[in-house]
Amino acid sequence: MIEVCEGIFRLEPSDYAELFTPDLLDIPEKFHAPYGFKLVEIEGKKLWQPGTFEDYSVAVAKMKGIDVSEVEQKRPSDCHNSSPTRCAGGCGQFGSCLAYILQPGQTYLYCHCEY
């Protein structure tokens, strides 16, 4: 993991096994979650829940050092999560769709373009 700012880390594929138990990683790539996934606990069980635009806005604003109101909505073809551990979608000719995690407090995984 590479810390990009306080509490936000860019993930490499090998980082997931260190962070999560196997049952939280065995998920098929059958999702389109534009705003990532957050780990929640319901009745003592950890589960993935789709992230919201608000979750995404807070994380991206923190990462970029901008106001939350400056974060733009995503288009369906943009960089997104196809599962909690996979990124998909486009970032244009010069960008890369990379995985990030926001910790501590809430575990929130999201994909974002880096140029």
User: Which carries the bigger pLDDT value, residue 65 or residue 106?
Assistant: 65
**Using 50, 70 and 90 to split pLDDT, how confident is the model at 110?**
very high
Compute φ and ψ for 75, nearest 5 degrees: -90, 155
**CA-to-CA dists, residue 76 to 44, 65, 80, angstroms:** 33, 25, 8
pLDDT of 83-102, one tens digit each?
888 899 989 889 999 999 88
pLDDT of residue 99: 93
Average pLDDT over residues 71-77: 86
Sorted by sequence, the CB contacts under 8 Å of residue 11 that are 6+ apart come out as: 1, 98, 99, 100, 101, 109
Considering the entire predicted model, what is its pTM?
0.83
**Mean pLDDT in the chain?**
88
Beta 8-11 vs 2-5: how paired, if at all? antiparallel
